[in-house]
Amino acid sequence: MLAIHQTEEEASAQFERAIAILRDPEAAFTAEMIYSLSDLGGQRLETFHTVWAELTVERRRQLIKRLVETAETNFELDFSAIVNPALEDADAEVRQTAIEGVLEDCPPRIVERLIAIAQADPFSAVRAVAAQALGVHVLRGELGNLPNALNTRLQDAMLALYRNLDEDQDVRRRSLEAVANCTREGVPDLIREAYVADELPMRASAVFAMGRTCDDVWLPEIMEELSSEYPAMRYEAARAAGELELKPALPRLAELAYEDDIEIQDMAIWALGEIGGKAANQVLTNLASLAETTDDAELAEAVADAQAAATLAGEDTLPLFDFGDLDDLDDDDFDDDDLLSLEALAADEDDDLDDEYDLDDEYDLDDDYGDF
């Protein structure tokens, strides 16, 4: 690891050791070596690129993967000087991993490059990852943080990719997910179109896109998919409910937080944290107790993260369900009787929540779900 106060002589020696490791195809990458490649510039960067050109494909794959993984856990490190040029690598796997490592605040020229990759890379998997990565930049444009011309070109590119029926399905659906981050006219219609597609992945992407719209008009669809027979739909609906902070989803999210599918459980817990309020916090408290009882470190970490994110936004709302029977709950004995029915939920919601979501007029909870 880099020292906090490192002399130039020490930094040079560390970089030389990193280059030696890189050149040795049998040498394992060390933490010190990886850290020394952060913020490269000048002669060191030139030296690195000379060595990079000499590496085997497998060695390049290993390094770019390690750099991207390290940057995801340590935001102080910046490998852009390596990752961004790797977007041009001859190997598709290197390009794909490099796309995943592009920083969210990258310069416009990198956004331009990602657009070009999404449109024309010879491998559909690479095009799909590029389209997916562009979602954050669509949001940047929506917030006024991209040049207007580039913002328009980016949106146009995502729309064209989605509408191209000859394009690979993964590219099309990732493009829809990306463009959902903007308020451009016609995007909601595309989401509704994708939602009724024959292919499950496209429908799942439509639900993902609903969560990105910042529009609770999608409440009925999201509530329905929270009880879908398909795990992918339940997962994306939980994510969307959290993104839109949909309080009516709390009872169902509380159920999903005890589901055997770990990915769905984690997403439901995350959504509870995003929605916040007394009811969500009580579920999270019960889950924390369960994690402690079962010595489940991963569950404890997920709950802790959600508790940190939780707000008191729903503090003035009447309790949504009865938690009295949940104190000693575990995964095996959680059943439908542990939550109040959605009929009771609709009756107990306060006037503000009822007005916000028009539950009586737009979404008949009793008819659609009955009791849990």
Q: Are residues 191 and 294 in the same domain?
A: no
Residue 191: give its domain's CATH number.
1.25.10.10
- Range of the structural domain that residue 274 is part of: 247-372
Q: Are residues 140 and 203 in the same domain?
A: yes
Residue 309 has pLDDT above 60, yes or no: yes
The predicted model gives 149-173 an average pLDDT of 98
Q: Are residues 207 and 268 in the same domain?
A: no
Give the separation between CA 79 and CA 69, rounded to whole angstroms.
Answer: 11
The predicted model gives 29-45 an average pLDDT of 95
Give the separation between CA 184 and CA 309, rounded to whole angstroms.
Answer: 30
Q: Which residue has the higher pLDDT, 56 or 315?
A: 56
The answer to whether position 364 is within a domain reads yes
- Residue with token string 């010595």: 295
The predicted model gives 122-149 an average pLDDT of 97
Chosen domain end from 203, 236, 269: 236
The answer to whether position 258 is within a domain reads yes
Give the separation between CA 250 and CA 357, rounded to whole angstroms.
Answer: 14
Q: Which residue has the higher pLDDT, 37 or 324?
A: 37
Number of H helices, E strands in the chain: 23, 0
The answer to whether position 21 is within a domain reads no
The predicted model gives 115-120 an average pLDDT of 98
Of the chain, the end-to-end C-alpha distance in Å amounts to: 52
Q: Are residues 198 and 315 in the same domain?
A: no
The per-residue pLDDT for range 167-204, each reduced to its tens digit, is 999 999 999 999 999 999 999 999 999 999 999 999 99
Give the separation between CA 55 and CA 24, rounded to whole angstroms.
Answer: 9
The answer to whether position 137 is within a domain reads yes
Q: Are residues 198 and 117 in the same domain?
A: yes
Q: Are residues 268 and 368 in the same domain?
A: yes
Q: Are residues 273 and 366 in the same domain?
A: yes
| Confidence class for position 371, pLDDT limits 50, 70, 90 | very low
Inter-residue contact 65 to 29 (CB < 8 Å): no
Inter-residue contact 212 to 181 (CB < 8 Å): yes
| Confidence class for position 1, pLDDT limits 50, 70, 90 | very low
Output the pLDDT for position 351: 42
Output the pLDDT for position 354: 43
Output the pLDDT for position 329: 43
Inter-residue contact 99 to 129 (CB < 8 Å): yes
Inter-residue contact 173 to 131 (CB < 8 Å): no
Domain count, the chain: 2
Q: Are residues 186 and 277 in the same domain?
A: no
The answer to whether position 127 is within a domain reads yes
The answer to whether position 138 is within a domain reads yes
**CA torsion angle for 214, 220, 221, 222 (degrees, to 10)?**
60
The predicted model gives 100-104 an average pLDDT of 96
What DSSP assignment string belongs to 70-96?
HHHH-TT---HHHHTGGGG-SSHHHHH
Q: Are residues 299 and 200 in the same domain?
A: no
Q: Are residues 207 and 272 in the same domain?
A: no
Q: What is the DSSP letter of 337?
A: G
The answer to whether position 167 is within a domain reads yes
Q: Are residues 196 and 257 in the same domain?
A: no
The answer to whether position 346 is within a domain reads yes
| Confidence class for position 104, pLDDT limits 50, 70, 90 | very high
| Confidence class for position 328, pLDDT limits 50, 70, 90 | very low
0.85 exceeded by pTM: no
What is the Cα Rg of the chain in Å?
A: 24
Inter-residue contact 94 to 57 (CB < 8 Å): yes
Q: Are residues 266 and 367 in the same domain?
A: yes
